[in-house]
Chains A and B, each alone.
Chain A
Amino acid sequence: MAYGFETLQVHAGARPDPATGARQTPIYQTTAYVFRDAEHAAALFNLQEVGYIYSRLTNPTVAVLQERMATLEGGAGAVCCSSGHAAQIMALFPLMAPGCNVVVSTRLYGGSVTQFSQTIKRFGWQAKFVDIDDADAIRAAIDDDTRAIFCESIANPGGHIADLDAVSQLADTAGLPLIVDNTSATPYLCRPIEHGATLVVHSMTKFLTGNGTVTGGVVIDSGKFDWSASGKFPSLSEPEPAYHGLKFHETFGPLAFTFHGIAVGLRDLGMTLNPQAAHYTLMGIETLSLRMQKHCENAERVAGWLESHPAVDHVTYAGLASSPYHARVSRICPEGAGGLFTVALKDGYDACVKLVDSLELFSHVANLGDTRSLVIHSASTTHRQLTPEQQEAAGAAPNVVRISIGIEDADDLIADLDQALKKASA
């Protein structure tokens, strides 16, 4: 990168508007775009020229966000979509077919566990869950029908940091792409492509937008995977009937996955991001580094204070020296361990519920990565659909509360937790 991260988070993808000179990226609230002539229209529909056709596929405001995310993650291109869950389907869709499977970390956001363990079965896809720290288990899970490995960089909610270098090496050896959900870390803290990931997905709803206003997702492609080498990825390497037999990898090279995501994924799955949502997310990303620094600084202070509190059994923040993942912070996410962690209370489930109910500043919501501090009891909410074993593996046991630390004054957050813990243990 020729420019620093803080410059790119403000500028990447967004030149002044060519029509008006508008300095801020305009919200292009339009469904369709006029063709110059019939030949222009035909070339666009055949993917022979790049341009705007219809906002289910491409939109100028969304395109700025796509280029910004591709740039910040160090990828070749990006496709935005309507939510983080949509991004996961958009990432898997070009790789999978009925009978195929994906090897998935057990340490995932509960909604992802459900999406992978239940919903994708209806496409004829299967997920094989493994401990992502166990190389032998990953190797044993990979078979001829495996098409990808999937993990979170900093897992929600447990704060587990995946050894992306090790996992991507396993993926490389098996000739498979590694997909990393980088939602909790953001590209300011961790850039998975630098550690060998092929695809990065985000729920942009969280730290990227940062203000709790809109949902959005994105898939970033590194452009480095050879989709034609193994014959396992025919959607990208073989002729596409809907485009006159065009082969995406042969035609677009490192941009194949991105063009496929627009031309087939968004065209036919339709999980499009709207330009208003792209606008709010672009506004958020302009201040990403500043917010993440404050999130990390606050999280470290609050987690450290909680750890020494008598009502607390343990805290799972990788930024604490007590964390088994502490040593990975400097290698995987050198700018900090993020703003998300869990706290386990000695008095169990009832104390957790009381803590959540007694907090005044923290908001009890099913979200994370807001400027506001947020709290939720995962076992009874976000991870409710999981079995006790799945909850335990995901770091969402019944005695655990998930905390997403905001950018408020850390002393105020500590004071609020202090009064609520007193009530919880009374």
Chain B
Amino acid sequence: MTEDYSDSHLRHILQRTRRIAVVGMSLNEVRPSYYVARYLGLKGFEVIPVNPAHTGARVFGREVMGSLGEIDGGVDMVDIFRRPEHVPAIVDEALALFPDLQTIWMQIGVQHDEAAATARARGVDVVMNRCPKIEYQRLFGELRMGGINTGVISSKL
């Protein structure tokens, strides 16, 4: 079952987040993991690419990490671009490494209910089967340009 998230909850998550580890980021610029990370960087998030296949490569002016454990300091959010079977190990590692972790985000097509329950038991918010780029665009107005139902009704400029 796909979970529902309120717009205010998603807006709150995206507004409080500063530093995001993007796990499974491709260096192929036509793959969603690449351009979602690039987009989040353009919107002012600090994006840390994680992919053992590209350890040490440079992208968006920074080095690709081989694992979450190589990241200096904490992150607010871990964004997962891996198949569901890889999710539990990533979640366990993130919970062990980052005491102040606020959010685990799994991309469209990625869902793991047990791993989500583990994270939530630690007080970490979990979003599954969604894309932070699409939600950011939807909630902060850009998707208006594409004829998308943003749910935003307002008479303010």
* A residues whose Cβ falls under 8 Å from a Cβ of B: 2-3, 7-8, 11-13, 15-16, 18, 21, 23, 43, 46, 48-52, 58, 60, 62-64, 66-67, 70-71, 75-80, 243-246, 250-253, 255, 258-259, 262
A218 to B30, CA, bound (A): 30
Chain A residues near B151 (CB, 8 Å)?
Answer: 2, 71
Judging by beta carbons under 8 Å apart, are A63 and B149 in contact? no
- By beta carbon, the residue of chain A nearest B108 is A253
Q: Which of A49, A243, A259 is most buried by chain B, counting CB atoms within 10 A of its CB?
A: A49
Chain A residues near B154 (CB, 8 Å)?
Answer: 15
Chain B residues near A62 (CB, 8 Å)?
Answer: 147
CB distance from B142 to the nearest CB of A (A): 5
Chain A residues near B17 (CB, 8 Å)?
Answer: none
Number of A-B contacts (CB under 8 A): 102
Stretch in contact with the other chain, from B32-40, B45-53, B95-103, B117-125: B32-40
Q: 21 pairs across A/B with beta carbons < 8 Å?
A: A7-B153, A8-B153, A13-B144, A15-B157, A16-B157, A48-B38, A48-B39, A49-B142, A50-B137, A50-B146, A51-B145, A63-B146, A76-B149, A77-B149, A80-B147, A251-B32, A253-B129, A253-B131, A255-B134, A258-B147, A259-B146
A18 to B146, CA, bound (A): 16
CB distance from A256 to the nearest CB of B (A): 9
- Is B16's CB within 8 Å of the partner chain A? no
- By beta carbon, the residue of chain B nearest A251 is B32
- With A48-B35, A70-B147, A253-B129 as known contacts, state yes or no: A3 contacts B153, CB within 8 Å: yes
- Is B1's CB within 8 Å of the partner chain A? no
Chain B residues near A77 (CB, 8 Å)?
Answer: 146-149
- With A250-B32, A253-B129 as known contacts, state yes or no: A15 contacts B152, CB within 8 Å: yes
Q: Contact partner of A75 among B35, B149, B152, CB < 8 A? A: B149
CB distance from A21 to the nearest CB of B (A): 6
Chain B residues near A66 (CB, 8 Å)?
Answer: 146-148
Judging by beta carbons under 8 Å apart, are A250 and B109 in contact? yes
- With A11-B155, A253-B108, A253-B129 as known contacts, state yes or no: A67 contacts B147, CB within 8 Å: yes
Q: Contact partner of A50 among B29, B143, B155, B157, CB < 8 A? A: B143
Judging by beta carbons under 8 Å apart, are B134 and A253 in contact? yes
A49 to B134, CA, bound (A): 10
CB distance from B3 to the nearest CB of A (A): 13
Q: Contact partner of B108 among A7, A60, A78, A250, CB < 8 A? A: A250
A8 to B66, CA, bound (A): 49
Chain B residues near A243 (CB, 8 Å)?
Answer: 30
Q: Which of A3, A15, A46, A258 is most buried by chain B, counting CB atoms within 10 A of its CB?
A: A15
- By beta carbon, the residue of chain A nearest B153 is A11
Chain B residues near A71 (CB, 8 Å)?
Answer: 149, 151
Which residues of chain B (66-99) have a CB below 8 Å from chain A? none
Chain B residues near A246 (CB, 8 Å)?
Answer: 30
Judging by beta carbons under 8 Å apart, are A16 and B155 in contact? yes
Judging by beta carbons under 8 Å apart, are A46 and B149 in contact? no
Chain A residues near B145 (CB, 8 Å)?
Answer: 50-52, 58, 60, 63
Q: Contact partner of B30 among A18, A23, A46, A258, CB < 8 A? A: A46
Beyond A15-B154, A77-B146, 11 additional contacts (C-beta under 8 Å) are A2-B151, A11-B155, A12-B153, A48-B39, A50-B142, A63-B147, A67-B149, A70-B149, A253-B109, A255-B148, A258-B147
Chain B residues near A64 (CB, 8 Å)?
Answer: 144
- Is B54's CB within 8 Å of the partner chain A? no
Chain A residues near B39 (CB, 8 Å)?
Answer: 48-49
A250 to B144, CA, bound (A): 21
- Is B156's CB within 8 Å of the partner chain A? yes
A270 to B47, CA, bound (A): 38
A11 to B29, CA, bound (A): 38
CB distance from B107 to the nearest CB of A (A): 9
- By beta carbon, the residue of chain A nearest B157 is A16
Chain B residues near A76 (CB, 8 Å)?
Answer: 148-149
Chain A residues near B35 (CB, 8 Å)?
Answer: 43, 46, 48
A259 to B52, CA, bound (A): 32
- By beta carbon, the residue of chain B nearest A69 is B147
A63 to B155, CA, bound (A): 17
A251 to B133, CA, bound (A): 10
- With A46-B30, A48-B39, A50-B143 as known contacts, state yes or no: A70 contacts B148, CB within 8 Å: yes
A190 to B110, CA, bound (A): 34
Chain B residues near A43 (CB, 8 Å)?
Answer: 35, 38
A46 to B151, CA, bound (A): 26
